[in-house]
Amino acid sequence: MQGFRKRTSVAEALAVLAARTGPLPDEEVALADAGGRVAAADVVAAVSVPHFARSAMDGYAVVGESTFGATVYAPVELVVVGDARPGRASAVPMRHGEAVRITTGAPIPQGADAVVIAERTEETTRGGVVFVRISEPVAPQKHVGQIGEDVVAGTTVVTRGRRLRPQDLGVLASVGVTRLAVVRRPSVTLLVTGDELVPPGHTPTGAHLVDSNSLVVSALAHRDGAASVEVVYVPDRRDAVREALLAARGDVVLVSGGSSVGPEDHAPLVLAEVGEVCVHGVAVRPASPAGFGFLSGRPVFLLPGNPVSCMCAYEFFAGPTLRALGGLPRAWPHKTCTAPLAGKLVSELGRVDYVRVRFEGGRVVPIMTSGASILSSTTRADGVVIAGADHEGFAEGEPVEVVLFD
């Protein structure tokens, strides 16, 4: 057993990942399945929305000029020649002196150019002919929704790289899109090593512990856009780790446990044999035994077995890479806030510290029991303060940025 001779800085490790990983190839999906996905190409509207002029009010479609001079005391009388409803246009074209009953959203009849609202009209019948009396003039185009009022044909409605929100899907549907190209979401294989571990759902007995990393990491991977997470339990044997690595099918392989330099830490050595280790040992606390490399072009992340170290290493290195593979920004997806420290926070130059904190009375208090194996410290914490490698800490009362868990 021997310690790390050198630890790579977080910045250097992230630079390697940024240089060697990027969005996966495109795939085409149905519009209904595109929510939350990342557009792989610009989408240009083939049609305008609406593609016909439509009424913005209930009332009567008219030739605006035919209403000029109308007042309450001297209404203009027009002949009613038809009806228009949403989805059903008037069957006859209109002329000066005529009107068509119309409701909101219905197509403006041919020949009409304005709509008189119902409140300014009154129908009457004489000799079997229906007339409408109009008590207020309307200018041409009044109460008429124009062609392209929402979207003009030829407009780019979605740009490449956009994460599609519910309203984006609605706009895409309105311009006739049924399928579109999106960045493929990465699949993940998570190898959980450790002879002492039993899967979630078991009660720990004897010298065994229940594996928690698979649940935490799987949830984080799904948050970051993973299409699937396959969990495989691997014995602490070098041949078993080798076989599992070579059999892993995911676009990303995560190895939980066995990432350090002890006699049963096989993952780094095996990865070096069958692939490539780029980084092993990082200047970060509490995840210093973390590392990563590549196997057949796919990133493999070595996550420490201690639960908080595993979570920390995932957030710093695996999470940004998963997001990038799926076309999302590498930046952490958490909300942040700034608040003053309740007391001094000590860090070490040259190392990034992931400090669990909680809020008390509007001030930031570090969690005292915060070992790398104390997962409950993350449930008692409201978030973390990331103390950069160029910091020796923060003074009492100094404002710090808190990366929020919620």
Q: What is the pLDDT of residues 110-159, one digit of tens each?
A: 999 999 999 999 999 999 999 999 999 999 999 999 999 999 999 999 99
Q: Please write the tens of the pLDDT for every residue from 147-174.
A: 999 999 999 999 999 999 999 999 999 9
- Looking at residue 1, its pLDDT comes to 41
For the chain, percent of residues with pLDDT exceeding 90: 89
CA–CA gap between residue 79 and residue 134 (Å, rounded): 11
- Cis bond before residue 286 (omega within 30° of 0): yes
- Looking at residue 79, its pLDDT comes to 97
How large is the average pLDDT for residues 309-326?
A: 97
Which residues, other chains included, contact 280 with Cβ-Cβ below 8 Å and sequence gap of 6+?
A: 4, 259, 268, 291, 293, 302
Which residues, other chains included, contact 315 with Cβ-Cβ below 8 Å and sequence gap of 6+?
A: 220, 332, 354
Q: What share of the chain is helix, strand, coil (3-state, %, to 5)?
A: 20, 35, 45
Q: Would you say the pTM of this structure is higher than 0.85?
A: yes
Enumerate the β-bridge partners of residue 262.
Answer: none
What's the Cα-to-Cα distance from 402 to each of 270, 323, 334, rounded to whole Å? 37, 21, 10
CA–CA gap between residue 277 and residue 93 (Å, rounded): 76
Q: What are phi and psi for residue 196, nearest 5 degrees?
A: -85, -5
Name the residue with tokens 């009022």. 149
Asked if 387 and 283 count as a contact pair (C-beta separation under 8 A), the reply is: no
- Looking at residue 360, its pLDDT comes to 96
Q: Please write the tens of the pLDDT for every residue from 236-275.
A: 999 999 999 999 999 999 999 988 777 778 999 999 999 9
Evaluate if residue 391 carries a pLDDT over 90: no
- Looking at residue 205, its pLDDT comes to 86
How large is the average pLDDT for residues 267-290?
A: 95
Buried b (16+ CB within 10 A) or exposed e, 43-58: bebeebbbeebbbbbb
What's the Cα-to-Cα distance from 65 to each of 34, 95, 331, rounded to whole Å? 48, 11, 59
Q: Please write the tens of the pLDDT for every residue from 54-96.
A: 999 999 999 999 999 999 999 999 999 999 999 999 988 999 9
Domains of the chain: 10-25+185-325 (3.40.980.10), 26-49+149-183 (3.90.105.10), 54-145 (2.170.190.11), 336-404 (2.40.340.10)
Asked if 182 and 38 count as a contact pair (C-beta separation under 8 A), the reply is: yes
CA–CA gap between residue 311 and residue 113 (Å, rounded): 64
- State the average pLDDT for the chain: 95
- Looking at residue 76, its pLDDT comes to 97
- Looking at residue 52, its pLDDT comes to 96
Q: Which residue has the higher pLDDT, 194 or 187?
A: 187
CA–CA gap between residue 249 and residue 262 (Å, rounded): 27
Q: What are phi and psi for residue 367, nearest 5 degrees?
A: -70, 125
Asked if 44 and 155 count as a contact pair (C-beta separation under 8 A), the reply is: yes
Element (H, E) at 17: helix 10-20
End-to-end CA separation in angstroms for the chain: 39
